[in-house]
Structure formats: structure tokens, C-alpha cells
Amino acid sequence: MSNTIGNNLLHQSLLSSNVLEQHQCRINSSTYIGGNTFFHPQANSLIHKSPISTEFRGNRLTMQKNRLHMGKHHSVSKSPQAVLAANTSSMMTEKFKMYGNLELQVDVGPSTSSSSLVVNFTVTNGRESLLLHWGAIKSRKEKWILPHCRPVGTMVYKNKALRSPFVRSGSNAVLKLEIDDPAIQALEFLIFDEAQNKWYKYNGGNFYVKLPTRESKSANVSVPEDLVQVQAYLRWERKGKQVYTPEQEKEEYEGARMELLEEIARGTSIQDLRTKITSKNKVNESKEQLVSETKSNIPDDLVQIQAFIRWEKAGKPKYSPEQQLKEFEEARKELQVELEKGSSLDEIRKKISKGDIQTNVSKQEVAKKSNFSTERIQRKKRDVMSLLSKVASVSIEEKISSEPQVLSAIQQFARAKEDNVDGPILNKKIYKLGDKELLVLVTKPSGKTKVDLATDLPEPVVLHWGLSKRLGEWAAPPSTMLPPDSVSLDKAAETRFTTISFDNQPYKVLSLEISVEDDNFVGMPFVLLSRGNWVKNGRADFYVEFNSGSKEVQKKDAGDGRGTSKPLLDKIAELESEAQKSFMHRFNIAADLMEQATNAGELGLAAILVWMRFMATRQLIWNKNYNVKPREISKAQDRLTDLLQNVYRNCPQYREFLRMIMSTVGRGGEGDVGQRIRDEILVIQRNNECKGAMMEEWHQKLHNNTSPDDVVICQALIDYIKSDFDISVYWKTLNDNGITKERLLSYDRAIHSEPNFRRDQKDGLLRDLGNYLRTLKAVHSGADLESAITNCMGYRAEGQGFMVGVQINPVSGLPSGFPELLQFVLGHIEDKNVEALLEGLVEAREELRPLLSQPNDRLKDLLFLDIALDSAVRTAVERGYEELSNASPEKIMYFISLVVENVALSVNDNEDLIYCLKGWNSALSMLNNRDDNWALFAKAVLDRTRLALTSKAESYHQLLQPSAEYLGARLGVDQWAVNIFTEEIIRAGSAASLSSLLNRLDPILRKTANLGSWQVISPVESVGYVVVVDELLSVQNKSYSKPTILVAKCVKGEEEIPDGAVAVLTPDMPDVLSHVSVRARNSKVCFATCFDSNILTDIQSKEGKLLRLKPTSADVVYSEVKEDELASSSNSNEFSSSSSLTLVKKQFAGKYAISSEEFTSEMVGAKSRNIANLKGKVPSWVNIPTSVALPFGVFETVLSDNLNQVVAKKLQVLKRKLDEGNISALGEIRNMVLELSAPPVLVKELKEKMQSSGMPWPGDEGVQRWEQAWTAIKKVWASKWNERAYFSTRKVKLDHDYLCMAVLVQEIINADYAFVIHTTNPSSGDSSEIYAEVVKGLGETLVGAYPGRALSFICKKNYLNSPQVLGYPSKPIGLFIRRSIIFRSDSNGEDLEGYAGAGLYDSVPMDEEEKVVVDYSSDPLIVDGNFRSSILTSIARAGNAIEELYGSAQDIEGVVKDGKIYVVQTRPQM
């Protein structure tokens, strides 16, 4: 309902004196279900005996967030008070001596701005932690009342007192109260120091300050009560329809009276006042008339219950205020019928509880509830780029000390014991005892349990211990198990530690060994006695578990911690035994570590996230022998989340990980909310008569230590009751959420029993457990949507009973219409058809987004709301899969666009995702405009979105997995949980839902665009044994002994194909013209991308079997074959041997630099010669860049120069090392080449050649620029020894020493686009058509290891003006560079026929390229058809002209700048 029936009754009480009389003796209470409320007789503590009823019932109680934590309340008795003199004409001051140098001064005087009194409190030398615990008194015989006018930060304490914080002013603590109610005669108070948990009283009782008497304006003038009622209602509406306590209702009523008296004092007549007020509230007149007609003898509490039953049976619809009132009267009529039949009120009450009252609920209303609402929000139009966040996190790599860790005496003892263990380690803990330590090691050698204890406490130390057959029990050990010299006591034993010395060490360790031969014992409680002092585990006894069900601690190496914040992880591991005591301990420890974590950057926060995630997934112990109050847990959570909020505010680069940490921690909250967990279970037990069995066990567990498990237990109870008490449903809910029977039994206060309720308890339990679930979620659930919304909007719709005393105000500064948007979300949160809900969720996050980067003292509440909305998107998408089963491509793409937008709102560096979102919007536009290429374009956007998700997953894995593995090893976490840590993090986010949506759309797009399931890059028929690998890179240097079909999950584009591989199949998307693709075709290896995961899975399942692959230009047919078919296969002979190629070593020709006119086969390679040959022979519109070269032999000559003698000698040593098979020498050789110095003659000749050719000389811009150029030249030479090239030459038996490297020098064209052309289609072998690929920026993204596909097209040579696009680009990165020089490798190995040497060596620009995330939605090559046709036609024509020039198929590279074509190299197509 939009408003409650309580509101309507309020209208009645304010407007009708008849109704007023009826309400004088009513019990005022209400029960709230969801957003709808009917009165129900429950909260009897709220009985109101005022002579005038002012029932203020509205939406959720809205109060301010408690900033202070509650201290322990001590009862106080009244004793003599200090009374201020009642002098109304002057300022009054009174001083009180409190304690030591603390003095209290109270000043009372009139307000300068109103008729109120101002009371100023000053405590000299007072702390900030002081609170005024106070109330007001109207009569000495009455209880304290709680004035509505309160200082900022005031809390309501148990609905009995107010607590207002003093603020610091110099050396004093001050507080100002304003008293606006003239009926208040005095203030009564105590002062509480929260930090010291200390009360300050006056002579053992309360301080008492009598206030000056003020004349009431109503002394000589009276206001009609009906006008006061109307004014009180208007005030209630004006203040947001809050729920008031009876005392507040009185205050509001008197406040309304005072407002009217002030109007009269200004000369307004009673009649004018009546006209003015009632005109504001015409709606109430009709309600008054309706109510006055329905008087009966039915008590309102019964009418309220019957109205609630009607509302439930109607499907809990959303009623308007008028409909609510009508429903209330219909309920009254139904009961009146029963009364007229002769039933007594008691009989009617019993019939209601059994549901026997005839209820006529409109079936139409029920139908409305069950139908899907087509209501949708209107999304605001936004510039997608406004979502852009380019804040990239920076990891601070912590240095790992190479020095061995210095172990303490106890750690040395532990290591020695572990090394000699013959059996599993069941438990191991090292407790910190100040600057001392205690080791407890539980092992099981030879089938019996052994407990080793060791400590460095001062002698003598005695172990006071017992054994337990169930957790927490103390029992005396059997005499047969006592070590020598032990003393047996009543329920324990005492054994003295003995001293052990270390060889050559000053350390002494006290140790003790206990053997437990009875497997019925599950643990050992103990304390220590050291020099007469008891040593405990904090406030609790020590307890060590060793039963057979305990998780074995694996003796695994934690590694060196590289890639982690190792010091922080080590600290966490040391403190874990303390953290296991309770959530309070864990959260407080995490809060203490936050500064260190933040200083360590991303790696530090990753450490906290891993730790909290292990906790959340129950890999760590939640509570161990420690009783803690829920409010203490809540307070610790609040402290931690406040710190996380501050880091979020101050360090935007870490926001993505801070969100993840917060979602694992939960919100926490002020003490009252946490304490409600403890208090409300008692309310449930009392209200529903269920104080024994399972409910009592749960109650004890909640009192001992509440945890997120309680949310699941509560939900399981609700599901069990709703299923008509089917106990299997209870267990299903528990098990689905990771809670087993064993886990229930493992709690310190175990839950042994199953629930067993009576049927007559059903309604009450569902009501109360539903409310209790909200309380639990308010503390424990960071991603619970309802509690997150409630915390931001304030408690306006909770009513009396549960949560009524908790004060949380709405967050200030929320956007206009935001509350209504959240109500829409809640109203549709369970819709089966989720499209409208997804729109609402994403729109809410968009509205919330600006607030998350603005100052707000409630930022964490906004963050938890955003996290909850994000989580709800994932849940909604998963629920919506059925809706998408037969959905159109348009609908699936729209879903995807919403989820991409949602993911972009959750991550830091989201530029790639933003451009994906723009791509999806463009694809939808193309589809709606019936563009023939929409599916082809959408497929490219889909591929790019997948790459974005893969990149994000890889970044998570790189950042989180090392920390998970290191900390997991230190804490003994299950290995399976460590292995899947990052995977589970990803699955928990909405990115996983996005991936599922992409998988649904992919086959639809491929079918629509006629793409098939394969892209064949190298169509070679092959027979081989299937081998599955993760990365082609990981096996590129391997040599397979039999023909092998590699199924590689990852192929980047620059790898070598290993010896023995006859085929490479991959789901990855290397470009058709990438290096690995060219080498596959040259080596006659089948190479294909498979888009269908089912086909690929089927091939992977045949690992080890012999398959035949028969590729066509667009498909691959595969089948199993027998061993005898291998010999006759087409590639068997090719496999058996690799032909040997011969290199001719080139000599230095006496020139360090030559111009293009001097390029010959003795001086330079084919790359340089071919580009020089094009000059003047191609059409004038094909531009050829100017070139010079450092010819063959220059490197060897520079190395032999006297300048480089030291380098030459070191290189000789490294080459011998390489010849001996030490591959690590390759990297050392490359680094050594970079140490070369340039002979002056080389610098002189190169400068002359470049300047005479019209090229800029780098040295003209300064010495540093020449050094950059020289370093680039050396990098080209050094690439002779890169791993890929070295293994490639060795594979074909080339003499690596004979490989010579010339360097082609060209000016870089700052390209708009780069292209590669094969003048014969490489996939089909069709020589009548040209195949080309185009990328934005420089061509390295096309030929190198850059993910994604280029734009690809074909063009018939006899129809060059009609290029046909085969695929749109999906590469997320483009490379761009300033005007510069590039130094290209040009080896003699690239000239060999039958050897794909091109691309093995490096081309190095003098300046570093800039990586730019590419936006294709504004790229004219994509969006402008005429421009695209013009550019692609020009590329095809250039390729055709060059092929005609050479008379053979060509492999051509070039760029486009301002629409002009530049060709930078050409070679024969392999």
C-alpha cells in the first residue's frame, strides 16, 4: 500500500469528535508486512492513555543514524537535587563538582530567535566521549518524556532516555539543548563517559534542573480541539508521516496547539483559522463522513486482524488510501455479520485465529496480483561517455627479502616437530601471549592423537587441562593418559612443562607432550599457570580440536609470496588464531590492518579481500569458545566499514576492490541494530509460545555469537513453515546455502534439533520471522537489497514491534524521484519477466553513481545500496533465462546492453566496456534500421565484450590468486577452495551473467550472418593425435614424437607452431594474417578457430585419440580413424622429417649506412630490396616511404670495435652457455647487446645518409634523441636471440651463427589505419580475389599478439570497386605514435623459400607507441558506408597493382593517412 490504514484512522481521529471518544481506550498497535500495513494487537507496551488520541501511524520510522556506541547502563536512584533559582528575568547559572578537575556548569536563558529556552552545558576539561543521558519532566510524578527537539547526534536509549554527545570546545566539552515545549518543568540527567564506561551522578542520583516558568499562550485563549487535531495531522504530513511513540504524539499534539495559538496571537480569528486549515485538507472531510457512518460494537483490534486477513487473501495488493479505508470497513461488516448471528466477541476472536470468518475478497484483485505488470520506468537519456572511469589501480610490488626469515624459538621447535611427524597434522596454532608465544600442534602418528605444547613463558609453567567428548566440555582425563608427575583434579588435570635447550642457542623452550588414545575425545580445553598467574586465550579458555572430523592441516609450502603483500599476509596469518574467537575480533583486527593495507596499494587490499572472502566462504573458523554480544559484532563491523568508506572516498583507484571487500563484510550498524538480534528472538519465542527445542538452541547460538549463517537459518524456517511444515524444505534451504547438519552441530552453542511447530503458530511465526529476517540482513548482508534500501531511505514502513527503536534517517541529497524508483524496484523484484526490473535496477545505479564520488557522511550506506542493486541485476538475469529461451535477437541484445552498463558501473577502468556498450547500442540501431550487416557487426561487438570480460578475469587472477595461494597455505585452507578462488570471485559478479547472455546470442548471430561454427585460417587436411593445452605459447618449443592435433585454449598470434603439430584448433581469434597464421599456412599445418563450444568440447573429449580433419573454407569435418590409416595420411611424410635449409653468411661491405639506391642482396634482405623496387613503378597515388639501411655485417663490425671489447668477450661466454643448452642465456645475450657503444663513424655515415635522403636526423633534437635511436637499432640486432626466432631456426636446422641482420630505417607515418593484404585469398586459395585486414592505428596490433579481430574484407580482382566486408573489428586497442623513425629487422633468413622467417624478429620504433582504447561507434570506417567503400577499394587496388608488378601473389603491409595509401613493405605471399 502507498499508505497504511493506520494513516486513515489517524485522519478519522483528527476530524471526528465521535471517533475521538471511541479511541480513548483503544490499544494502539500495528503489524507491518512488506509495504502494506494493517493493525494487529501486539505491541502492548505502546498503550496510550492520553485523554486525546493522536495516533500517528505512517511509513517506516525515520530517525537519525546513531553515531555513538552504547555503554552499559546502570540503574540510578533519585536523591537530593541541585535546583537552579527560578528567576525568569535574568540568565541563570549553576555549577556542580563532578570528579577530580571536572566541573559542570549549566546556563539557562531565552532563545534569541523563538520563544524556546536554551540550556547550555559545559564540562571543564571534559572528554569528547561524554554523553548527556537525559529526559524532560512535566510533572515530578511522571516518567521522563523525550522532547522532539534534540541536538544533532542524539540517540534514543531503549525508548526511555535520550543520549546527546558533547562536542569539544578548547579544553572543555559543551552541549546545547533547546526546549520549545512550555509544559516542560525541568530536565533530569546523568553524564556518561563512553570511553571509560563511567557514570557521573549528583550525590548518587540524577542531576535535576528546574526550568523557569513560562506563560502559556493558551491561558486566556482556547483553540477548538478539532482544529488542533487537523493541525497535528498537517504537521505529521509535513514531517514525512513518521511513526511516533506515544510521548512524541503528545509533543506533536501540543506543538500543533502552540502553532495555532501563535496564529491567534497575530490576530487571526478562530473562523479564519478553521477556513485556512480545512482548505488544506479537503480529502479528510469525505473520510470523516465515511468513518462516522460505520460505528459498531466490534473492537478495532479484531477489525484490524480481519482487514489484514482480507489483504493477505487478496494477494497483498497495493491499495490507495481510499481503498485501505474501504477494506477496513468491509472487514468490520464481516465481523458485524458474525455478531448479528449471535457469536460473542470471544468466539469471533477464536474464529479469526482459525480463519473461519467468511471473507469475500474480489477474485479480480487476486488476478491482478498474479499477472505480470507491464509498468515500466522511463529511463533518462544520458551520454554513455558520462560513465567513463579511467582511474587505473596501481599495484605496489612489495620487495621480498632474500634474507632467510629469523625464526623464534617456538617457531624453530614447531618446524623441528613437523619435520619428524609420521602422520597427518590435524591442527596447528601459535598463540601470541604478549611478547611470548604458545604452540599447540596436534598430530596423529600410528593412529593415536598426540598433542605437543611449547611456550617461552617464564618458568614454572603448569598446564591446567581437560578433555571433551563434545565441543566446549571440561572433563577429567583418564589416569592412563596423564603424563608423568601429573596431578588429577575433579574435572581437570595439571601437568608441569619441562625445559628444552637448543644447540648453540640461548633459547629455552618449555614443552609438554600428551597422548590421547581414545578417539571419542574431540578436543582439549586448557589454561596455563605461569609464576602464579593464569594465562588464558583473551577472556576465554584455550581449546584445541583433534577429533577425526577435523580438517587436516596440509604441510604445504606457502612459497615466497611474490606478487603479494607478503608482510601483511604474514601479519594476518599470525593474528588468525585471535581472529577465530569471534566476528568482533576478526573485524577489529581487519580495521587495525586497514592503514597498512591501504599503504600497500592494490596488493594490500587484495590481502584483506582474500582473508575476508575465506571467512565469508566458511574456510575460516567464525567463533571459537568466545561469547560476544551481537551489538559488539555490529559495532566492529561498523568500525571496519567506516574505514573502508574513508579509503573509498580518498583513494578512487581502489574503489573496485573496496566494493568487493564491503560485500563480504556486511553492513554492521549502530549498537541498537546489532542488539536487536539478541532481543527479538526472545520476542518471537514469547509471542509464538516456542521457547524450547530448536528455537531455544538457536536462541542460545544467537546470544553467544550471531553470524551470517543466521540469515540462512531464518530463511530456512520461513520456507519450512510456508511449505506446510515440510522438514525436507528446511534442510534444502540450509544445504543449498552451505549449512549442513555437521555445521549446525559445530557451533559453540550447537543446534541439535529440527524445528517442530504447531499449525496455529503459522501466521504469527511467518510474520515475526519475516521481520526478524530483515533485522538479521540489516547487520549481516552487505548485498541484501531490502535492508540496503531501508538503510538509505530510513525506517519508514516498519511499524511497531521490530526495529521500532532504531533510529536511521534517510540519506540526504538523494536525487528527485529516487525513492519512487527504489519502490518500483522492490515492487518488481520477484517478477518472472525481468526486463522492466533490469531497467529499474540499472537506472537506480545510474542515479546513485554521482553520489558515490561526492562527500557524504552516509557514503557507506549508499555503497551498500549500490552493491545490493548490482547483486540484484545478476539474480534477475539468472531468473530471466527462461524469458530469453525463445526471445528475439533484439531482446537478447537489449538485455546484454543493460548488463554491460551494469558491469561498467562496477569497475574502475571501464573505457573498453563503455565502447562495448556503445557498440551494442549501434548494433540495436542497425537491426531496427534493417541494416543487412547488423548481425556481422553485433558478432564483432560480442567478441570484443568477451575479450573485455577475459581481460578483467585475467587481471583479477593476476592480482588475487597469488595472495589466495600464499594465505591459503599459511592458514591451511582447503586446496580446492584456493584453486578456484578467483574463479568464484568472478562467478559471484554480474560479469558471469553477462558471459552467459553472450553465449546465448553467439549462435544466433553466427547463423544470421552465415558465419558457421568455424573460421578456417589454414585449410590443410590432417591426421593426428589430439592433445589439449591451455596456451600454444607454453608448447611452442616442444617437439612431438607423433603427429599431433593441438587444441589450444589461448593463441595470441605471435607463437611458433611446435614440431610434430599437424593442426592447431582454438576458440581464440587470431587474425588470419597474424604471424602464427602465416607460419601455419607456410608449414602446411591446419589452423582454425572454432566458435561453437559444444564442438570444441567434443574434440577435447577425444584427447589421446587419432582424428582426421577435413577443412573447407568455412568448416572443419572431423572423424576418428584407425592407427593403420595414419601411414597413408596426406601429412604423414611431411611430419617425419623437416627439410634442412642453408644460410649464406653475409660479410661487411665497408659501409655503415646505405641509401635505397644501394640496396642489393649482398647488403640487405628482401624486405629492404622489395620496398626500394616499388619506387617509381607503382601508381602515383600509392606512396612509398623513404628508406635507408644499416647493411649486413654492421652489427659484427660494431661488436669487434675496440669500444666494445668487454661486451664481445662476455657475449662469447654467453654463446657457449647457449650452445650447451642453457636457454636462459638468450635473455642475457639480448641484454648484453644493449651494452654496445656506437662507433663515431657509424653515427657520421648514418646521419649523412638520412639527411641526404630527406629524412630527419634524430640527433638534431638533442643527444637524448640519438640515444633513443641507437637503443632501437640495438634492440633490432638483439632480437636475433629472441626465443621464438631461436627455436624456429633450430627447428629447420638453420645455422644460427650464419643469420645476419640488416636494419631498414624508415620514417613512421602516424597512421589512421594500417592494413595487410594477401593478393590470393589465404583461406580458400582463390587467386581471383584479394583478402585484406585493417586496424586502427599502427599495424603491430594486426601482426602482433594483440587480442581481437581486425576488419576483414575480400575483393574480386575484376571488380575492385565492390569490396565485401567479412567481419567487423573487435580489437580493443589501437597503437598511435608521434612523428618518429622506425628501425625494421631485415635478416637473410627472411629470403629463404619454404621458411616463414618474416615476423620472427623485431621492428622497433624510436618512440614508444601509445595504446588507445578504440571507439568504433564514431569511426567513419565503420559508420560511414561511402568512406569505408572508398578506403577498402583503394587498399584492394594498391594490392592488385603490386601483384601485377611482381607477377606473383604478394604479402603487403601499409597504412592509410588522411585517405592516402602508403605501402611500407611487400614480400612474396607464403
814-833 burial, b if ≥16 CB within 10 A, otherwise e?
Answer: beeebbebbbbbbbbbebee
| Per-residue confidence (pLDDT) for residue 10, from 0 to 100 | 31
Who has greater pLDDT, 887 or 622?
887
Q: Tell me the three state secondary structure of residue 1088.
A: strand
| Per-residue confidence (pLDDT) for residue 286, from 0 to 100 | 41
| pLDDT of residue 1239 exceeding 90 | yes
**Which pTM value belongs to this model?**
0.65
Across residues 806-818, what is the average pLDDT? Answer: 77
| pLDDT of residue 958 exceeding 50 | yes
Catalytic residue among 23, 1075, 1296, 1318: 1075
59: Cβ–Cβ under 8 A, 6 or more apart, which residues? Answer: 3, 4, 240, 241, 242, 243, 796, 797
Across residues 1180-1195, what is the average pLDDT? Answer: 93
| pLDDT of residue 220 exceeding 90 | no
| pLDDT of residue 210 exceeding 80 | yes
| Per-residue confidence (pLDDT) for residue 90, from 0 to 100 | 43
| Per-residue confidence (pLDDT) for residue 697, from 0 to 100 | 86
Cα angle vertex 808, ends 200, 787, to 5°?
Answer: 135
Q: Tell me the three state secondary structure of residue 1279.
A: helix
- pLDDT tens per residue across span 1397-1427: 667 788 899 998 899 999 999 999 999 999 9
**Highest mean pLDDT of the ranges 238-247, 849-858, 1315-1324:** 1315-1324
Who has greater pLDDT, 538 or 1371?
1371
Query: Which is nearest to 771 in space by CA: 40, 253, 262?
Result: 40
| Per-residue confidence (pLDDT) for residue 1198, from 0 to 100 | 94
| Per-residue confidence (pLDDT) for residue 326, from 0 to 100 | 76
334-338, 526-530, 1251-1255, 1263-1267: the lowest-pLDDT one: 334-338
Confidence of residue 25 (pLDDT cuts 50, 70, 90): very low
712-721, 880-889, 1406-1415, 1443-1452: the lowest-pLDDT one: 880-889
| Per-residue confidence (pLDDT) for residue 782, from 0 to 100 | 53
| Per-residue confidence (pLDDT) for residue 506, from 0 to 100 | 63
Confidence of residue 451 (pLDDT cuts 50, 70, 90): very high
**Highest mean pLDDT of the ranges 829-833, 895-899, 989-993, 1111-1115:** 895-899
| pLDDT of residue 1256 exceeding 90 | yes
Phi, psi of 764 (to 5 degrees): -65, -40
Across residues 1236-1262, what is the average pLDDT? Answer: 93
Angle between helices 655-665 and 859-879 (to 10 degrees): 80
- pLDDT tens per residue across span 983-1021: 888 877 888 889 888 888 888 898 888 888 888 888 889
Q: What is the DSSP string of 1428-1448?
A: HHHHHHHHHHHHHHHHHHHTS
| Per-residue confidence (pLDDT) for residue 795, from 0 to 100 | 55
Measured over the CA atoms of residue 147, residue 148, residue 153 and residue 155, the dihedral's sign is positive
- pLDDT tens per residue across span 929-948: 999 999 999 999 999 999 99
Residue 957 annotated as catalytic: no
5-19, 421-435, 1044-1058, 1102-1116: the lowest-pLDDT one: 5-19
Query: Which is nearest to 558 in space by CA: 969, 975, 976?
Result: 969
Who has greater pLDDT, 1079 or 569?
569
| Per-residue confidence (pLDDT) for residue 1452, from 0 to 100 | 93
**Highest mean pLDDT of the ranges 803-812, 1049-1058, 1334-1343:** 1334-1343
170-174, 714-718, 922-926, 1462-1466: the lowest-pLDDT one: 170-174
- pLDDT tens per residue across span 1023-1041: 999 999 999 988 888 889 8
739-748, 1054-1063, 1170-1179, 1334-1343: the lowest-pLDDT one: 739-748
Who has greater pLDDT, 426 or 672?
426
Angle between helices 934-971 and 566-579 (to 10 degrees): 60
Task: Let me know: does 1105 contact 1406? Beta carbons within 8 Å.
Answer: no
Q: What is the DSSP string of 759-812?
A: GGGHHHHHHHHHHHHHHHHHHH-TT-HHHHHHHHH-S-S-BSSTTTT---PPPT
Confidence of residue 182 (pLDDT cuts 50, 70, 90): confident
Indicate the burial class of 1110 (C-beta count within 10 angstroms; 0-12, 13-18, 19 or more).
middle
| pLDDT of residue 1343 exceeding 50 | yes
981-991 burial, b if ≥16 CB within 10 A, otherwise e?
Answer: bbeebbebbbb
- pLDDT tens per residue across span 491-508: 899 999 998 876 656 667
399: Cβ–Cβ under 8 A, 6 or more apart, which residues? Answer: none
| pLDDT > 70: percent of the chain | 81
Measured over the CA atoms of residue 1102, residue 1104, residue 1110 and residue 1111, the dihedral's sign is positive
State the Cα–Cα distance between residues 837 and 428, nearest whole angstrom: 50
| pLDDT of residue 1269 exceeding 90 | yes
How much is the mean pLDDT over the chain?
80
Who has greater pLDDT, 1082 or 1416?
1416
| Per-residue confidence (pLDDT) for residue 898, from 0 to 100 | 95
Who has greater pLDDT, 8 or 473?
473
State the Cα–Cα distance between residues 925 and 72, nearest whole angstrom: 64
- pLDDT tens per residue across span 99-121: 777 888 999 888 766 667 889 99
143-152, 698-707, 778-787, 1347-1356: the lowest-pLDDT one: 778-787
Confidence of residue 21 (pLDDT cuts 50, 70, 90): very low
Rg (CA), the chain: 41
| Per-residue confidence (pLDDT) for residue 36, from 0 to 100 | 31
| Per-residue confidence (pLDDT) for residue 1061, from 0 to 100 | 93
Cell of 1057: 607452431
State the Cα–Cα distance between residues 518 and 626, nearest whole angstrom: 27
Strands 508-516 and 498-501: antiparallel
- How many residues does the structure list for the chain? 1470
Confidence of residue 783 (pLDDT cuts 50, 70, 90): low
Q: In what order do the strands lie in the sheet with 1059-1066?
A: 1014-1018, 1086-1090, 1059-1066, 1039-1050, 1022-1031, 1106-1111, 1116-1120
| Per-residue confidence (pLDDT) for residue 38, from 0 to 100 | 30
| pLDDT of residue 750 exceeding 70 | yes
Query: Which is nearest to 1066 in space by CA: 1047, 1094, 1052?
Result: 1047
| Per-residue confidence (pLDDT) for residue 1431, from 0 to 100 | 96
The alpha carbon torsion through 15, 18, 24, 25 (nearest 10 deg) reads -130
Task: Let me know: does 1252 contact 1197? Beta carbons within 8 Å.
Answer: no
State the Cα–Cα distance between residues 720 and 586, nearest whole angstrom: 33
Across residues 1161-1172, what is the average pLDDT? Answer: 90
